[in-house]
């Protein structure tokens, strides 16, 4: 039976990939992800995991090798952070476009410059439009469960898309948490064998990633967009099956006191639980505040979000961004949420805040301030013209 053990989250994520019986791990070390691939290397070296561990000279190659392995029919995994992901970018886009269900564990970290190894979401937001299924975990247990389930989602014959699991660097990776760890027997059969319908096979030669002339390219991209939208059904199905078997529930949009909240803070990642603590405290003072977590980033859960936010009780949604779109709307998640609700007649006000960049902690009072910005907007009937950077020294 599953045991609840105190374990470093990075190690647990590696164990999740091993539990899924990955066949190829192709990775390059980068802080704060390194412990994940180090642990997988140990498992392979110790003979506990029957996989090919490919040590590569860069992340660009890490993703290239994972892509090739996946198309050859192997269950492939990689993990990276920040600059590593940025260097991979070219192949990140190609991997989804070639429909290779690679799973990537992404320890979210700020992008340089200035050099910063700490947590924010600028790395994942930089890859927003690369066509990967993208899911956020807000604690170690979720990172473990979601990494394990990612293989089942991505490899489903109706999906065949890569999946990235996001979890905050250091705030999660380097923390020792009590995590329910599965025994192999318990999950046996949960992830069926991986079969790519056109895998690279000398006996049945095919050409993958051919030239797509102007007459073809548009149709290929439309097909890819439909594929990731349709993946939603399988994502829900896999999460449901997991819940039925193991009891832990995962939803595209998670809510905390959203049923009666007037002001909602919309979050992604580990700030979610911190915001929940703030709500617990402030509810004692009569504040009708709540938290909505956008767990599923791609495919974007439009309907779920509308169901939760376009309700009479919700007056203002404050969207917390952990990255910046320079010279644009500033808040990336904010602008997506606002435009997703644009056509709804009963949409709430949507206000953007940005905080926690480059590993700066968001303090209790700063969460309170975010909610108060929402209250202020509702009271005055005016959304601030610009996204407010909370915690900025003027």
49-52: list long-range contacts, CB under 8 Å, 24+ apart. Answer: 49/18, 49/21, 49/22, 50/21, 50/23, 51/18, 51/21, 51/22, 51/23, 51/24, 51/25, 52/23, 52/24, 52/25
β pairing state of 3-8 and 176-181: antiparallel
Q: Is 178 in the site for another protein (CB under 8 A)?
A: no
- Taking residues 304 to 333 in sequence order and writing x for each that binds another protein by CB under 8 A, - otherwise, the string is ------------------------------
Distance CA 320, CA 112 (A): 21
SS3 76: strand
Candidate list 44, 72, 117, 208; residue touching another protein; CB under 8 A: 208
Q: Is 192 in the site for another protein (CB under 8 A)?
A: no
Residue of 29, 277, 320, 301 lying closest to 139 (CA atoms): 277
Q: Is 160 in the site for another protein (CB under 8 A)?
A: yes
CA distances from 172 to 141, 166, 317 (A): 10, 10, 26
> Which CB atom, from 222 or from 379, has the smaller least distance to another protein?
222
Query: Minimum distance from CB of 302 to another protein (Å)?
Result: 21
Candidate list 35, 75, 99, 287; residue touching another protein; CB under 8 A: 99
Task: Name the β-bridge partners of 325.
Answer: 330
Candidate list 195, 207, 285, 345; residue touching another protein; CB under 8 A: 207
Q: Which of 43-51, 221-229, 336-344, 374-382 is the region at the interface with another protein (rule: CB under 8 A)?
A: 221-229
Distance CA 58, CA 285 (A): 52
Candidate list 58, 223, 313, 346; residue touching another protein; CB under 8 A: 223
Decide: residue 389, CB within 10 A, 0-12 exposed, 13-18 middle, 19+ buried.
Answer: middle
Distance CA 301, CA 8 (A): 31
Query: Minimum distance from CB of 37 to another protein (Å)?
Result: 28
Task: Name the β-bridge partners of 105.
Answer: 79, 165
Q: Which of 38-46, 92-100, 107-115, 230-238 is the region at the interface with another protein (rule: CB under 8 A)?
A: 92-100
Q: Is 205 in the site for another protein (CB under 8 A)?
A: yes
Q: Is 202 in the site for another protein (CB under 8 A)?
A: no
> Which CB atom, from 109 or from 196, has the smaller least distance to another protein?
196
Distance CA 53, CA 100 (A): 18
Candidate list 97, 237, 251, 255; residue touching another protein; CB under 8 A: 97
Residue of 150, 183, 154, 178 lying closest to 165 (CA atoms): 150
Q: Which of 106-114, 146-154, 216-224, 249-257 is the region at the interface with another protein (rule: CB under 8 A)?
A: 216-224
Q: Is 206 in the site for another protein (CB under 8 A)?
A: yes
Query: Minimum distance from CB of 91 to another protein (Å)?
Result: 14
Query: Minimum distance from CB of 64 to another protein (Å)?
Result: 16
Where are the strands (E) in 272-354, listed by range? 289-294, 296-298, 316-321, 349-354
Candidate list 126, 224, 251, 255; residue touching another protein; CB under 8 A: 224
Q: Is 201 in the site for another protein (CB under 8 A)?
A: no
Binding site for another protein (CB under 8 A): 97-99, 160, 197-198, 205-210, 212, 215-216, 218-220, 222-224, 226
């Amino acid at each position: 039976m599953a045991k609840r053990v105190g374990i470093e989250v990075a190690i647990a994520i590696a164990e999740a990939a091993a539990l899924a019986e990955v066949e190829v791990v192709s990775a390059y070390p980068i802080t704060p992800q390194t412990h994940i691939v180090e642990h997988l290397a140990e498992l392979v070296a110790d003979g506990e995991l029957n996989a090919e561990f490919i040590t590569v000279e860069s992340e660009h190659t890490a993703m290239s090798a994972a892509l090739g392995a996946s198309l050859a029919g192997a269950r492939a995994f990689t993990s990276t952070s920040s600059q590593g992901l940025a260097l991979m970018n070219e192949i990140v886009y190609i991997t989804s476009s070639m429909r290779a269900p690679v799973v990537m564990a992404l320890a979210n970290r700020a992008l340089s410059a200035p050099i910063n190894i700490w947590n924010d979401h600028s790395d994942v937001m930089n890859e927003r439009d690369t066509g990967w299924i993208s899911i956020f975990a807000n604690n170690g247990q979720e990172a473990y469960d979601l990494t394990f389930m990612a293989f089942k989602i991505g490899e489903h014959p109706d999906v065949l898309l890569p999946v990235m699991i996001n979890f905050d660097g250091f705030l999660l990776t380097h923390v020792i948490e009590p995590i329910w760890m599965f025994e192999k027997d318990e999950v046996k059969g949960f992830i069926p064998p991986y079969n790519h319908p056109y895998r690279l096979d000398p006996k049945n030669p095919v050409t993958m990633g051919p030239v797509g002339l102007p007459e073809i390219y548009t149709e290929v991209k439309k097909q890819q967009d439909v594929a990731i939208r349709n993946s939603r059904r399988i994502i829900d199905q896999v999460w449901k099956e997991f819940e039925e078997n193991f009891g832990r529930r995962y939803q595209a949009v998670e809510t905390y006191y959203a049923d009666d909240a007037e002001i909602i803070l919309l979050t992604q990642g580990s700030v979610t639980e911190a915001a929940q603590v703030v709500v617990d405290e402030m509810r004692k003072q009569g504040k009708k505040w709540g938290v909505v977590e956008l767990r599923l980033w791609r495919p974007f859960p439009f309907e779920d979000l509308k169901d939760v936010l376009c309700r009479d009780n919700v007056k203002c949604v404050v969207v917390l961004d952990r990255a910046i779109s320079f010279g644009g709307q500033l808040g990336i998640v904010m602008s997506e949420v606002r435009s997703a609700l644009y056509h709804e007649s009963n949409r709430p006000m949507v206000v953007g805040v940005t905080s926690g960049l480059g590993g700066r902690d968001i303090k209790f009072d700063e969460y309170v301030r975010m909610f108060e910005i929402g209250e202020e907007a509702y009271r005055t009937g005016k959304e601030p013209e610009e996204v407010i950077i909370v915690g900025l020294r003027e």
